[in-house]
Amino acid sequence: MKILAIPLLMVWGAVQAAQPLSQADTKSAMELAKNNGCFSCHSTAEKVVGPSYSSVAAKYSDDKDAVASLVQSIQYGSKGKWGRIPMPPHASLGKDDLNLLARWILTVEK
Ligand code: HEC
């Protein structure tokens, strides 16, 4: 069984790498969003105070710099892109967490 499991895992790994985000990354990103209060202003499918993550994903779907822009917006705050309510900065999040959040948001579908 062990001999079979290793090549299988390698194939699985390659399949996962081709996807935008692994299941584990998606899970960590949602944990981050939950623990950092993102869901008090955002939901995945409905506008709350801020835009839904599915509409953010749709807006930036053709933008190859989307991850960098969203990292910027989350870290330093954002205003005037979606409406009159600004998003406050999230200065305590590290680079890796910001990146993961941005990459995850861009995969959210309605
Ligand atoms: C106090 C409410 C609030 C909280 C908390 C909040 N947001 Fe926002 N967010 C907003 C608002 C309002 C906007 C729209 C800002 C604008 O019009 O530019 C926004 C916009 C965004 C955008 C789109 C930015 C762009 O450049 O188009 C992303 C991505 C985002 N938020 C992610 C997050 C994440 C991740 C968190 C948690 C770390 C978070 N937000 C927490 C209110 C919030």
DSSP the chain: -HHHHHHHHHHHHHHHHHSSS-HHHHHHHHHHHHHTTGGGTB-SSSBSSSPPHHHHHHHTTT-TTHHHHHHHHHHH-B-SSSSSSPBPP-TT--HHHHHHHHHHHTT---
Distance of CA 54 to the CA centre of its chain: 10
Quote the ligand 1 centre to 55 CA distance (angstroms).
Answer: 12
Residue 17 token pair = 């790498």
Residue whose CA is closest, atom 37 of ligand 1? Answer: 38
Q: What is the pLDDT of residues 71-101, one digit of tens each?
A: 999 999 999 999 999 999 999 999 999 999 9
Mean pLDDT over all residues of the chain? Answer: 89
Identify whether the C-beta of residue 91 lies closer than 8 Å to the C-beta of residue 12.
Answer: no
Q: What structural domains and CATH numbers belong to the chain?
A: 22-105 (1.10.760.10)
Ligand 1 neighbours by CB, cut-off 6 Å? 33, 36-38, 40-42, 49-51, 56, 69-70, 73-74, 78-83, 85-88, 90, 101, 105
Percent of the chain with pLDDT over 70: 83
pLDDT at site 11: 55
What is the reported pTM?
A: 0.87
